[in-house]
Amino acid sequence: MKFKRIKSNHVQGILEPESSRKYPFQRLPQKYKNKVRQEVWDLSENSAGVSMSFFTNTSTLVAKWKLKNKFKMHHMTDVAISGLDLYQKRNKCWDFTGAAIPEDLENEVCLFSGLKKKLRHFRIHLPLYNTLISLELGIDADAQLKINYKESDPLIFYGTSITQGGCASRPGLAYTNIISRKLNKTCINLGFSGNGHLEVPIAKILSKINSAFFIIDCMWNIDENIITKNTRPFLSALRSKKENSQTPIIFYEKYVSDINHPDKKQIHSILQENLALKKEINKKIKNGFKKLYVFSQDGCLREDSEFTVDGVHFNDLGFERFAKHFLKNLKKLV
């Protein structure tokens, strides 16, 4: 067996892959370390939403990866936090093939073995809530592995722990990864757990990136006061560069997880926050901003109340519904 070390420019889902990084799959390059708050920077080192597409004719595939942190959460699986999962493309669809479950900081897992030697198309998703120091893929000594990297304007998602992938059961089920597979397009996941605050420094970084869409999903980390204070400055900074003056910007409303919940005060608060967001967006539209949208939470998740692990963070059902709702609304814009 021979091993191939995976590098930053082999993957999709990171900003400026050719720029210098301390860790190969950190989402922001090193030059932005002093541009954002320390909490945001630490989370940016996590490889949420990062994946690699490749072709190989190997009969056996082994993953070796080294993690920065021993990190666990009571409401999320180890494989989602620190592990990998693999998909194979069959008949134009991506099918789940296997998961690599971490045991320690250094791990080695066989993702499959015994396959007939023929060229297949795979995609491997990296950990959502941990930082990878290194990743290697092992294939048969006489096999080939070809990276399938395609340059295109990405969809950039900026948001919260939910955006980052909490609490999918494995990496490929975070909604940005579902959307990426469905559209066959690069999605960059800038979800920062507890830190999606509509901050101008983030907007300034994003303003430099050619993007197909900006999707802002920060509502669970901000209240009505922050919405009123930060929304318009954030948008002005995001549109400050000529390259993105016409890039569509989509905001997502805060969702009601159970309209029949006995805490009516909480439901009222959510609806008021959504109204505040719409008011700020409409002010920018009246001032000449174009291609600015708010996706309503109505019809997104309300079939029942079974889509979260704790009333806020999605389980796999929630991520699937959210992705489906997003794609349905996106289709109306393109």
200-239 pLDDT per residue, tens: 999 999 999 999 999 999 999 999 999 999 999 999 999 9
Distance CA 180, CA 172 (A): 10
Residue that finishes a domain, picked among 127, 147, 167: 147
Domain membership of residue 195 (yes or no) is yes
pTM of the model: 0.96
| Chain-centroid distance, C-alpha 138 | 26
For residue 105, what is the domain's CATH number? 2.60.120.260
In this predicted structure, what is the pLDDT of residue 86?
A: 99
Asked if 203 and 221 sit in the same domain, the reply is yes
Asked if 280 and 206 sit in the same domain, the reply is yes
- 10-residue block means of pLDDT along the chain (334 residues)? 97 96 98 98 99 98 98 96 98 96 98 97 99 99 94 94 98 99 97 98 95 98 98 97 88 84 83 97 95 91 83 95 96 89
Asked if 69 and 95 sit in the same domain, the reply is yes
Distance CA 41, CA 292 (A): 28
In this predicted structure, what is the pLDDT of residue 201?
A: 98
Residue that finishes a domain, picked among 147, 172, 198: 147
Domain membership of residue 32 (yes or no) is no
- Using CA atoms of 32, 34, 40, 42 in order, give the dihedral in degrees to the nearest 10: 90
Distance CA 106, CA 85 (A): 16
Asked if 136 and 231 sit in the same domain, the reply is no
In this predicted structure, what is the pLDDT of residue 297?
A: 87
Domain membership of residue 36 (yes or no) is no
- H or E stretch including 40? helix 38-44
Residue 277 structure tokens:
């967001």
Residue that finishes a domain, picked among 92, 123, 147: 147
In this predicted structure, what is the pLDDT of residue 105?
A: 98
Domain that holds residue 85: 2-17+49-147
